[in-house]
Amino acid sequence: MSTNPPDLRPDLAAARLTEPAPRQGQPRIGMVSLGCPKALVDSERILTRLRAEGYAISPDYAGAEAVIVNTCGFLDSAKAESLEAIGEALSENGRVIVTGCLGAEPDYITGAHPSVLAVTGPQQYEQVLDAVHAAVPPAPDPFIDLLPARGVSLTPRHYSYVKISEGCNHKCRFCIIPDMRGRLVSRPAHAVLREAEKLVAAGVKELLVISQDTSAYGVDRKHDAHPWKDGEVRSHVTDLARELGRLGAWVRLHYVYPYPHVRQLIPLMADPANGVLPYLDIPFQHAHPDVLRRMARPAKSADTLAEIARWRADCPDITLRSTFIVGYPGETEEEFRYLLDWLGEARLDRVGCFQYENVAGARSNDLPGHVPAEVRQDRWNRFMEVAQAISAEKLAARVGRRMTVIVDEVDAEAATCRTMADAPEIDGNLFIDEGFEALAPGDMVEVVVDESGDYDLWGRLAG
Ligand code: SF4
């Protein structure tokens, strides 16, 4: 998996928090957050709570009295990276509390690092806090330690991930997430909306909806309804998207499966007034029906090309992002070529691709016909070549168009922005390299696209 570039592996992207210096006597905690956007939301919640209790968040090991390592256990390479991060925190600081996905396997962690202070599993917020209280007692100061309006965030202030459910009811053979995180548990819709409303009130301009399976949201709650504003809201992805869209921020949906009811989301995306971005992140993973069957994927029998055509007919500007696995056990050259042809027809806008690898505990490990590493690499190269050509063509078609972008970063060289078609951290950017000096992160501005590359655009502020 090391051949997959990190920018295609959001589940491996690390994030560290930077905070102002603590006041004298204030207890200080460090946080290393590994893993996917879902884990990042967990880190944010833990830090929000610690901050509210009067802890300072240390940007480095030296300034911390203990360090929380939020781990990822999605793939063996991610587990190895998590163990390495724990080792680094132990040698740099010495007092380490482990949480997150890999925390579901405490023996694996304590076997390698017996001196960690505590190991807690995913979403065990209370246990993490108990471990922090035991390691570094709180010293609250009611005049100073007020919870900031938007809490503490590991992501820039102008966008925020919103986790709507935990766990998954599927059993994809290559995935151990259901074993680690359990079956689907959805948050009530009004609780999600209240959190989102607070985020928007505190200045968040873009809400990124995440879960293991966003289209399944609310199935476990039988789509129950709760009072919201002047009416009711069901715990159903369509209701939730519609209400989120009314809060006044961009709403971007991740991890949606191509179930028929997803069609109801498309009209919401087609009208910009609804606030739901015309963007679907759908992890197809493959296109050949036999491979999908061997993967035991949800919605595996869907005619995805017909479904995509339907979405585009209803919302011509929709951006489709997906991820794929090449070299899955038993994948023949013919099945791989089917995938390439499918991609050529589907012409997805944004694509990530992983080479298959075994994960301890995954049922796919026992499948026959494991594909040799050099064949996996070759298929990955061929797949990315096609995906890159499609991306370049699609971006070239945007030259001359006027569009709204959100500013993520401004430095001496340029303003790094994103269009509605680009999710932060995983998609491309639009750069403004002239007349950008007055811009600030979180600004939304109109630009005209001047130039395109394979994955990025360049533009100027519209007059
Ligand atoms: S849908 Fe499949 S890949 Fe996604 S979390 Fe569930 S089991 Fe894993």
Provide the pLDDT confidence category of residue 154 given band limits of 50, 70 and 90.
low
Ligand 1 binding pocket includes 212 (Cβ within 6 Å): yes
Which is the closest atom of ligand 1 to the Cα of 212? 5
Reported as a single tens digit per residue, the pLDDT across 215-254 is: 999 999 999 999 999 899 999 999 999 999 999 999 999 9
219 exposed, middle or buried (CB, 10 Å; 0-12, 13-18, 19+)?
Answer: middle
Provide the pLDDT confidence category of residue 205 given band limits of 50, 70 and 90.
very high
Query: What's the rounded mean pLDDT across residues 166-174?
Result: 89
Task: Note whether 246 and 196 are within 8 A (CB).
Answer: no
Domain ranges of the chain: 6-135, 159-396, 402-461
CA of 359 to the centre of ligand 1 (A): 14
C-alpha–C-alpha distance, residues 51 and 266, integer Å = 39
Q: Nearest residue CA, atom 1 of ligand 1? A: 170
CA of 63 to the centre of ligand 1 (A): 38
What's the pLDDT at 23? 65
- Annotated binding residue 168: yes
Reported as a single tens digit per residue, the pLDDT across 261-282 is: 899 999 999 999 999 999 999 9
Which is the closest atom of ligand 1 to the Cα of 257? 1
Provide the pLDDT confidence category of residue 141 given band limits of 50, 70 and 90.
low
- Annotated binding residue 353: no
Q: Which CATH class is domain 6-135?
A: alpha beta
Reported as a single tens digit per residue, the pLDDT across 336-372 is: 999 999 999 999 999 999 899 888 888 999 999 999 9
Compute the mean pLDDT over every residue in the chain, rounded to the nearest whole number: 86
Which is the closest atom of ligand 1 to the Cα of 213? 1
pTM of this structure: 0.77
Best probe residue, ligand 1, of 11, 163, 213 (max atoms within 8 Å of C-beta): 213
Backbone angles phi, psi at 261, to 5 degrees: -70, -10
CA of 462 to the centre of ligand 1 (A): 42
Ligand 1 binding pocket includes 298 (Cβ within 6 Å): yes
C-alpha–C-alpha distance, residues 281 and 283, integer Å = 7
What's the pLDDT at 16? 33
Ligand 1 binding pocket includes 172 (Cβ within 6 Å): yes
Q: Nearest residue CA, atom 4 of ligand 1? A: 212
Provide the pLDDT confidence category of residue 10 given band limits of 50, 70 and 90.
very low
Ligand 1 binding pocket includes 175 (Cβ within 6 Å): yes
CATH architecture of 402-461: Beta Barrel (2.40)
Pick 202 or 240 by higher pLDDT. Answer: 240
CA of 103 to the centre of ligand 1 (A): 19
Q: Nearest residue CA, atom 2 of ligand 1? A: 172
Structure tokens that stand for 386 in this block: 């096609």
Ligand 1 binding pocket includes 178 (Cβ within 6 Å): yes
Provide the pLDDT confidence category of residue 295 given band limits of 50, 70 and 90.
very high
Burial 227-253 (b: 16+ CB within 10 A, else e): ebeeeebbbbbbbbbbbbbebebbbbb
User: SS3 letters for the chain?
Assistant: CCCCCHHHCHHHCCEECCCCCCCCCCCEEEEEECCCHHHHHHHHHHHHHHHHCCCEEECCCCCCCEEEEEECCCCHHHHHHHHHHHHHHHHHCCCEEEEEHHHHCHHHHHHHCCCCCEECCCCCHHHHHHHHHHHCCCCCCCCCCCCCCCCCCCCCCCEEEEECEECCCCCCCCCCHHHHHCCCEECCHHHHHHHHHHHHHCCCCEEEEECCCHHHCCHHHCCCEEEECCEEEECCHHHHHHHHHCCCCEEEECCCCCCHHHHHHHHHHHCHHHCEEEEEECCCECCCHHHHHHHCCCCCCCCHHHHHHHHHHHCCCCEEEEEEEECCCCCCHHHHHHHHHHHHHHCCCEEEEEECCCCCCCHHHHCCCCCCHHHHHHHHHHHHHHHHHHHHHHHHCCCCCEEEEEEEEECCCCEEEEECCCCCCCCCCEEECCCCCCCCCCCEEEEEEEEECCCCEEEEECC
CA of 259 to the centre of ligand 1 (A): 14
CA of 432 to the centre of ligand 1 (A): 38
CA of 197 to the centre of ligand 1 (A): 29
Ligand 1 binding pocket includes 168 (Cβ within 6 Å): yes
- Annotated binding residue 172: yes
Question: By percentage, how much of the chain surpasses pLDDT 90?
Answer: 60
pLDDT at 146 over 70: no
CATH number of 159-396: 3.80.30.20
Reported as a single tens digit per residue, the pLDDT across 298-322 is: 866 668 999 999 999 999 999 999 9
- Annotated binding residue 417: no
User: 185: which strand partners?
Assistant: 166
CA of 185 to the centre of ligand 1 (A): 14
